[in-house]
Amino acid sequence: MKTIFPAIAVLFLSMTASAHNGEDPAAEVVKKRSYVLQYQKEYPAATSQEERIRNIKKQVSTLQSTILLLRNSLVKENRSVRSDLSKYDLDYLVAIKNSLKDMQKLLKQLEAAVDS
């Protein structure tokens, strides 16, 4: 159990996520969020501590990748964070808000995993 927090910290601090590959970031954000929601759905069915930790690591990694994608897209567009000015029809603030909500749920799951 002592290794879970350093592992999570490494995932948060690591900036080695794959770069945006030039596809539509709006579609990429939707795809990544669907992965996170699926992982969150699978979490209650995990029967062992190891399964829960693996699930949490996948969620953290996907959320980190989403935030990096959003950051890189903002830098690339360098215009506005509102969807009405985005060439990809993506409201970055809403996407970041959703990612943070997902992170909040993940942290609650992490607390439950540590407490059990």
List per-residue pLDDT tens for the chain, 116 residues long: 556 655 555 455 443 344 445 678 999 999 999 999 999 999 999 999 889 989 998 998 899 899 889 878 876 776 555 556 667 777 777 888 888 888 888 888 888 888 87
Report the half-sphere exposure of 13 (CA within 13 A, side-chain side).
6
Q: Is residue 18 part of a domain?
A: no
Q: How far apart are CA 112 and CA 106, in angstroms?
A: 10
pLDDT at 7 (0 to 100): 55
Task: Decide: helix, strand or coil at residue 116.
Answer: coil
Burial class (CB in 10 A: 0-12, 13-18, 19+), 17: middle
Q: Which domain holds residue 99?
A: 4-10+23-115
Give Dmax over CA atoms of the chain in angstroms.
47
What pLDDT shows up at residue 88?
Answer: 73
Give the total number of structural domains in the chain: 1
Please indicate, yes or no, if residue 33 is contained in any of the structural domains.
yes
Whether 68 maps to a domain, the answer reads yes
Tell me whether residue 76 is in a domain.
Answer: yes
* pLDDT in the model for residue 32: 96
Distance between CA atoms of 11 and 9, rounded to whole angstroms?
Answer: 5
How far apart CA 41 and CA 16 sit, in angstroms, is 27
First to last CA, the chain: 11
pLDDT recorded at residue 45: 96
Q: What pLDDT does 14 receive?
A: 45
Put simply, whether the predicted model's pTM sits higher than 0.75 gets the answer no
